[in-house]
Amino acid sequence: MRTLYVVTHPEATHHVEGVVGGWHDSRLTPVGVRAAASIAQALRAQIPDDAEVELFSSDLQRTRQTAETVAALFDVKPALDRRLREKSYGEAGGQPQEWLDRRFIPPPAVGERMDHDEGVKGAETKAQLVQRI
């Protein structure tokens, strides 16, 4: 049996700058770097020393930085894969959050939500994200 740990990147520059993340290639902030180290230590405490560890990450800077911090404690090299990127917000990526908020069409409260077009050119639907990953 395998155990899978899913880790998201901690605080990145797009968070503090108030811009849309998605495929916008931001870096970890100093707070994010410290949080990545804490995440790595928590994983090291959970995973037995003799466990076979594989580490997969998106290729974006913030996730790569997080993965490299974890990888260092396990003496492994992360496998970077662009298919593991978070949801693409298309042309909204890197724009101020208010830019997206003005254009965003929320999904219906009931019914089909996975194929919902959120109203942003080039953005993925949730179904497209799931299919890619």
52: exposed, middle or buried (C-beta count within 10 Å: 0-12, 13-18, 19+)?
exposed
Catalytic residue at 15? no
Selecting among 9, 14, 15, 24, the annotated active-site residue is: 9
Cβ proximity of 126 and 112 under 8 Å: no
Instruction: Give the distance from CA 93 to its chain's centroid.
Output: 13
Question: Does residue 86 carry a catalytic annotation?
Answer: yes
Taking the C-alpha atoms of residue 33 and residue 129, their distance in angstroms, rounded to an integer, is 27
Q: Which of 17, 68, 86, 91 is catalytic?
A: 86
Cα angle 88, 93, 98 (rounded to 5 degrees) comes to 120
Provide the annotated active-site residues. 9, 86
